[in-house]
Amino acid sequence: MDKYDIIYIGSGNASWQGARFLADNGWKVLIVEEGLYGGACANYGCNSKILLDAPYELAAAIKRYEGIGKKGDFSVDWPSLMEYKEKAIAGLSVFLDGKFKEYGLDVANGKGVLLDNHRVQVNEDIYYGEKIVIATGLIPFIPHIPGKEFIRDSTDFLEIKELPNETIIMGAGFVSLEFASILAESGKKVDVLIRSDTALRHFYQPYVEKVMKILENQGVNFHFNQEAIEVIKNGDKFEVKTNNGLSLTGDYVIGALGRVANVEGIGLEKAGVSSSSKGIPVNGHMQSNIENIYATGDVADTNQAKLVTVAIHQSKYLAKYLLGETSDEITYPVVPAVVFTLPRIATVGVTAAYALEHPEAYNVDRIEYGKSYFIELKNERDAELTVVTDKEKNIVGCEICSFEAENLINVFAFIINKKITLEELDEMIYAFPSSNSVALYKLHKLHYNIGYRKK
């Protein structure tokens, strides 16, 4: 039985980002992977989604020049785009195989199952780990209803060869609205079933409603307070019935009702590790209830967002902790999040909704910078952001609705984390024209109104 200082079950960013530092310091490291190296984000999620999204972002941008320079038509050829995506994504696992070798990380291919708190079985082989890290991530949740075998998940959609003409999507989170944006931009019919009266509940609702209105104008139908209770196959079509009597028919049904911890069948009970559908509870050192077993990334039950950036942060922290470079519990900077709809919605820091409920502590200002700078913003007249400041005139939160939101939100994450004041921002000079500069220059209004004028 081969012995290792540490065994990671899972090969995504939650494992190898920290594992490489341990290997650099002489630790013998084993990574166990059942599927492709790199896990869900690299092969089935983030990378595939953004690659497929990019041409539709371009298509939407071209439409903004209708009647003011646009000539001819532009359309996305999904089959050729999918072919390109498959080739590009296939190379990532091969690339990581080379990186693992470069980092000195051993890999065992197969499902990792705990036999106890030290032994991990992979196929017919058993490995001993002084420490073990569970980094198995999340899997799509498919409701247990009649006809659930006809429901496709996000991985299925990101591999589909031809876009369906009529799609029914269950759920109203990231996956649902991002896929709806692609389908709507392609001119396809979409019905979205929302179990409550709110979509994207963790994002600023005025911006969510703004994007949903755009999607509705493109033919997307949102059905609130409707939960699927049955899926029936009728020839080449699928009928979805809901709890409130609605019946919808489409060519394709997507379950986008969130994700649950990938903990089934990996032997946690044999090792005595506590878990639930939310994941493995961990303390401030990413440690489970079993002293030598840790969890990082999406499978770790923390109060943090389930994002790849958070997984990387946790993996690096755990390596430092195990190396004795820190004894402090993990801390988190403000974490930006983006929904890749068309346009995007982004958030970071104190939310505008929370700030509006606490006016004694915060100011909330809406900045419609697209109206002033539409020329510099490629004719995106509706681009805007909402900034949250505290009573000391520090920016502590930001919400953005714009095609450039994924880039601009990172600027605000930097501003908030480094505690750069409005006065300091007002003294800076930016490269112009750019989406970052036009939004930041508009912050002068805030500095003027709550700064100079009140002195």
End-to-end Cα, the chain, rounded Å: 72
Q: Minimum mean pLDDT among 166-170, 312-316, 368-372: which range?
A: 368-372
Mean pLDDT of 320-328: 98
> Which tokens belong to 99?
């990186």
Question: d(Cα 50, Cα 11) in Å, to the nearest integer?
Answer: 21
- Comparing CA positions, the residue from 42, 41, 33, 43 lying closest to residue 10 is 33
Mean pLDDT of 371-399: 90
Q: Which pLDDT score, from 0 to 100, does residue 433 have?
A: 85
Q: For residue 20, name the pLDDT band (cuts at 50, 70, 90).
A: very high
Q: For residue 434, name the pLDDT band (cuts at 50, 70, 90).
A: confident
Q: Which 3 state secondary structure label does DSSP give 345? A: strand
Question: d(Cα 287, Cα 75) in Å, to the nearest integer?
Answer: 50
Q: Which pLDDT score, from 0 to 100, does residue 446 have?
A: 73
pLDDT in tens, 90-101: 888 889 999 999
Mean pLDDT of 333-356: 97
Mean pLDDT of 344-353: 97
Per-residue DSSP letter, 324: T
- Whether the pLDDT of residue 452 is over 50: the answer is no
Q: Which pLDDT score, from 0 to 100, does residue 93 have?
A: 87
- Comparing CA positions, the residue from 381, 432, 372 lying closest to residue 63 is 381
Q: Minimum mean pLDDT among 11-20, 25-34, 43-52, 164-173: which range?
A: 43-52
- Comparing CA positions, the residue from 234, 233, 79, 238 lying closest to residue 170 is 238
Question: d(Cα 392, Cα 412) in Å, to the nearest integer?
Answer: 17
Query: Cβ(422)–Cβ(394) under 8 Å?
Result: yes
**In whole angstroms, how far apart are CA 359 and each of 398, 399, 437?**
16, 17, 28
Higher pLDDT among residues 433 and 401, named by residue: 401
- Whether the pLDDT of residue 74 is over 60: the answer is yes
Q: For residue 392, name the pLDDT band (cuts at 50, 70, 90).
A: confident
Mean pLDDT of 244-270: 96
Mean pLDDT of 31-44: 88
**In whole angstroms, how far apart are CA 106 and each of 16, 45, 99?**
11, 25, 11
Mean pLDDT of 162-171: 97
